[in-house]
Structure 1
């Protein structure tokens, strides 16, 4: 099925249509389109869209890379727990992300216990096989949160006593409103995240065209998907009739996934959380409900970490808020590389800096 959306004559037709529509617009400047999701950043580079439209469309990276938006303060919390001897379980991308003074990778070299999992549910198996105090570091958006909720429910049902969760998860709609409320530049359209939209549906984005008069499209990740999404945005801009146009209908429904949403709501409740590049945003995080407080690492361990600034020179926060590009960073390809990352945008495969580095954007 993937080949139907990759090696397809429709791609050329879409590119010609978009180019024609852009010419009709008689633009005085390139359109600013924000791809919210880090995987879209990768696909736009990998499949050549950024280069093809470089004089007509400026693609801006958004806050859709989970590791990239995790604040330095929250990274320091995970490092603090590792230093105290607790066994950390988390996703691989988080290992190399620098805190203010260290990283989990550096702490591993000093003897810290850190396990990498691809599925949060594997944490339960680890907890059942050891007497160590296990702390799962939960990062991610609505795509991952249902599985993390499942981990908590399984641990609760089995009365697991040596497992807690440090919830650093975030939800998408609130940060987009915050971005638009505090916008310093111009965004002409949004390419919405496909994976998140599978869970939440299209309705949560309606405030963007209704309150800000900005078009949105929900897109998949293959070339035809991206072409359909970009064509939709350009068409909406031409007509000046912004909507949320779902061009990923094979995966995304208007109502999203009700079962997954119910699972999230049964375990978590909204909370304030700190975002790299944005600061603290009320209601954009999720914390465990009171009935699950025994599994809340914040409650159990009373984590006290002094808030410090991130390493100088890194502009990752400006990159994921669309203010700058990796090419604007003086550290990019010099001091900051995938082998020696200074910021999370170079660590994560979804990070803009990593994508620019890998696919040769210069």
Structure 2
């Protein structure tokens, strides 16, 4: 498969692993005193486990799984508000599939659908827009969820709805941005991180400069990475080489896809439609200043929070995690998924207790999927 096999070449991978081992030996990284590298993106977490990179790399490397999945960091209160919106009369509530099974305090969207709410899975906000056109007598709400990767498509849909003068289409905006939570983690005195593997898809939109503060202010190297095995191995090697050489800069391993200054069309759409919220709650991290986006006054007619009087428009509330669920600790790198007392017992992909087991990019789902019975045994 052209342009994929090249990044899965076992001979090249072996050479990269040998180079990683040499640099680990040079800097004195050991299993007892490892270099702690956080992969920010949940897609990277799954790639690491899918290809066994955690087993193949030098024992002096410890991968810390960051809060890089928007479904995983969504607080339960926002899930409750989704259900509340979906259960309104005359509403068609639309969402991406991986948000359907995330549990709230009362029920998930999937359970609400089973109870009679008109909830439909879509692949794009444009699908929701088409539903609004075809159902002028219904209120169509799109669950706007995701990092900078999905934010432009929602913004473009709102712009299109505005041009068409649609009055029955709104967005429940839960779009969030990557740099603020990284800063929150770096400011956490209990977090020990030596470097970062930066997100690839997010960086396609925003470029590499939003991460400058990681190197400039905190002295930590970060390498924006692709998703194939050799992408990740090369990125880890680049982080280690910076540590060895006493450097801390932003490097772009994924230059074949990620432009330095991002995608100007996407950035323009985001800036036109959204503004920063003063703060937004992240599951496991709490309220983080300027980390969420809300719809600007110009497009207020398409803001479900304003139209239906819900969420931050009326003062959203924080909700405690289910008893025994350690999603917050896993997302902040304080424990591995297998250390959660519910892992593989009260929380499985079939019956998830926490968002990290639900999401296709969740760390717990990765451990369960690729560790199988061994992961469950490790939890016992």
Deviations for 1:264-293, whole angstroms, at most 9, x for unmatched residues?
001101112111111111211111111100
Q: State how 1:218-297 maps to structure 2 within 5 Å.
A: 218-271=224-277, 272-297=279-304
Q: Mean Cα displacement is larger for which, 173-182 or 144-153? A: 173-182
Kindly indicate whether residue 68 of structure 2 is the aligned counterpart of residue 61 of structure 1.
no
Q: Normalising to structure 1: TM-score of the pair? A: 0.97
Q: State how 1:106-125 maps to structure 2 within 5 Å.
A: 106-125=111-130
Partner residue of 1:301 out of 273, 297, 308: 308
Map of 2:152 onto structure 1: 146
- Asked if the contact 1:61–1:321 (Cα under 8 Å) also holds between the matched residues in 2, the reply is yes
Partner residue of 1:11 out of 13, 18, 24: 13
- Asked if the contact 2:12–2:230 (Cα under 8 Å) also holds between the matched residues in 1, the reply is yes
C-alpha displacement at 1:185, in angstroms? Answer: 2.4
Kindly indicate whether residue 313 of structure 2 is the aligned counterpart of residue 311 of structure 1.
no
C-alpha displacement at 1:307, in angstroms? Answer: 3.7
C-alpha displacement at 1:240, in angstroms? Answer: 1.2
Partner residue of 2:50 out of 46, 51, 55: 46
CA distance in 2, matches of 1:309, 1:11: 43
Q: 4+ runs of 1 displaced by more than 4 Å?
A: none
Bigger relative CO (Cα 8 Å, ≥ 6 apart): 1
Kindly indicate whether residue 105 of structure 2 is the aligned counterpart of residue 100 of structure 1.
yes
Q: Normalising to structure 2: TM-score of the pair? A: 0.93
Q: How many residue pairs align between the two structures?
A: 362
Map of 2:134 onto structure 1: 129
Map of 1:323 onto structure 2: 334
C-alpha displacement at 1:245, in angstroms? Answer: 1.1
Corresponding residue SS for 1:356: helix
Partner residue of 1:89 out of 94, 106, 116: 94
Structure 1 unmatched runs, 5+: none
Corresponding residue SS for 1:168: strand
C-alpha displacement at 1:315, in angstroms? Answer: 1.0
Corresponding residue SS for 1:177: helix
Corresponding residue SS for 1:293: helix
Map of 1:208 onto structure 2: 214
- Asked if the contact 1:8–1:224 (Cα under 8 Å) also holds between the matched residues in 2, the reply is no
CA distance in 2, matches of 1:125, 1:295: 15
C-alpha displacement at 1:43, in angstroms? Answer: 0.4
Deviations for 1:15-53, whole angstroms, at most 9, x for unmatched residues?
100011101112351111100000000000011111123
Map of 2:23 onto structure 1: 21
Partner residue of 1:338 out of 328, 344, 349: 349
Corresponding residue SS for 1:308: coil
CA distance in 2, matches of 1:292, 1:120: 16
CA distance in 1, matches of 2:213, 2:46: 27
- Asked if the contact 2:17–2:58 (Cα under 8 Å) also holds between the matched residues in 1, the reply is no
- Asked if the contact 1:89–1:123 (Cα under 8 Å) also holds between the matched residues in 2, the reply is yes
CA distance in 2, matches of 1:198, 1:6: 22
C-alpha RMSD over aligned residues: 1.3
Kindly indicate whether residue 361 of structure 2 is the aligned counterpart of residue 350 of structure 1.
yes
- Asked if the contact 1:99–1:310 (Cα under 8 Å) also holds between the matched residues in 2, the reply is no
C-alpha displacement at 1:7, in angstroms? Answer: 2.4
